[in-house]
Amino acid sequence: MRIKVLLLLLILALMAPVSAWADEGVVLSHDNRSATIEGCSFALNDFSRASKGSNREVNDTYYGYNYLIGSQASDLMYIVSSERVVVFIDKAAAASAGLNPQSEVDLAYLQRSIELLDKSNENGNTGIKDNATWHYTTEEAVEINQVVYSFNQRLAEDRSYNCVIGRDGSDVTNPSSPNYAQLSHACFASLVPSENAAIVAPPSELEKLQSFLTTLDWSPLWVTLKTTLTAIVFIFVLGLAAAYVTLHASSRTRDILDTVFTIPMVLPPTVCGFLLLLLLGNNTALGRWFAEIGFPLVFSWPATVIAATVVAFPLMYRSARGAFENLDPNMLDAARTLGWGEGRIFFKLMLPLSWNSIAAATVLAFARALGEFGATLFLAGNYLGVTRTIPIAIYFQWMNGNTDVALFWVLVILVISFFVILFINLWSQHTTRYRMGAAE
């Protein structure tokens, strides 16, 4: 019960919005698109951000570095560079919303709203510098330090742009230009009376959890379980067979086989994956043969099973071999003198007497296959619903900025690993008590 409660609390913590900005008196919509300030008559709605612009010509004419607005112009727009923030305010929209562009108080309110929304929509990108100079204008074109900032430019039939260009028509994003400006991003919003602001209230913790779990792509879990459960069958059979073969091989052959069977344990998983790719790739005879019979190995679900089997196999092999070597050889010889065949000796004596070690090795191999990443990524790739296992999902979700999803999968792996280790400990305690009881 405690584990379930802890799991729920951790998931809720992951769902909690991370606020890197707090400003007393400011109300920010949960979707980060609207903001109001206590005592301010106007508000910002429909906030959006363009993190990247384009330096290409529009209709065969160069207008400078441009940010696409869309088919509809915005009431408020601003362009951010490393040195300044240039804000355009539409006169008609400002009057309707109750914003006086000549009032320092109103502009201070506006700046606080912009800073809050800009910070909340960064998503890891560059934001407004603390020492940036702010410029406000109600004109659609303004020149600052020989750089022209143009807003609401209808450069195409159904598209408007914000443009930045040197007064002499030069490219201001060229570091060799005397008018060089390190542009960061542009943002757009609507000016509305504060009572018309579309403030979305944050959902409850239960609603956030429900939304997260219902929108989460669960395919990595099913791919991981299907892969691991299939791989553990091969690992179990091949591990026991390899241990039995090496046990009956000559000394020199045993050393060679032991090295071959153990080497995946000491090699980095990426090296194992690379070697498997060289062996089973479509450019090899073996890989082409499997592809011709309609069973391609690389970048397919069977490849995830192969990778997991190869990496986790040594754990099963080493444990099984150690368990077999610890058996009393006199007992096995006695069984042979009674006429038992090698198969009967294996299944009736060796396997039951070694079962405790074999069971623990099976669980450890299962856990190792569950967490396999490097070899799987090399051999199977990252295909959603096909080869994307939980470890691969963690890596790519984190790379894509979906930290909450990555943390959730990390939590899933931690919980599974916890129960695996707990099982091994309980099993060891059980076998120890059993042996002590038998000795007494």
Among residues 104, 109, 115, which one has the least CA distance to residue 78? Answer: 115
Q: How does pLDDT run across 208-246, given as a tens digit for each residue?
A: 788 788 888 899 999 999 999 999 999 999 999 999 999
Among residues 304, 299, 297, 296, which one has the least CA distance to residue 224? Answer: 304
What are 410's two structure tokens? 């990390």
Asked if CATH classification 1.10.3720.10 holds for the domain at 213-439, the reply, yes or no, is yes
Task: Provide CB contacts within 8 A for 252, sequence distance 6+.
Answer: none
DSSP helix/strand/coil, 163: strand
Q: What span, in angstroms and rounded, lies between the C-alpha atoms of 129 and 56?
A: 27
Q: How does pLDDT run across 414-436, given as a tens digit for each residue?
A: 998 888 888 877 876 766 565 55
Secondary element (H or E) of residue 245: helix 219-248
Secondary element (H or E) of residue 192: strand 183-193
Strand order in the sheet with 76-81: 26-28, 35-37, 42-50, 183-193, 76-81, 84-89, 133-137
Flag whether pLDDT at 31 surpasses 90. no
Query: Where is average pLDDT lowest: 13-17, 154-158, 366-370?
Result: 13-17
Q: What span, in angstroms and rounded, lies between the C-alpha atoms of 85 and 183?
A: 10
Flag whether pLDDT at 22 surpasses 80. no
- More confidently predicted of 13 and 323: 323
Phi-psi region of 88 (alpha: psi -120 to 50; beta: other; left: phi over 0): beta
Band (16; pLDDT cuts 50, 70, 90): very low
Which pTM was predicted? 0.59
What are 435's two structure tokens? 């042996």
Domain extents for the chain?
17-202, 213-439
Q: How does pLDDT run across 65-120, given as a tens digit for each residue?
A: 999 888 777 889 999 998 999 999 999 999 999 999 999 999 999 999 999 999 98
Q: What would the mean pLDDT of 303-326 be, rounded to a whole number?
A: 92
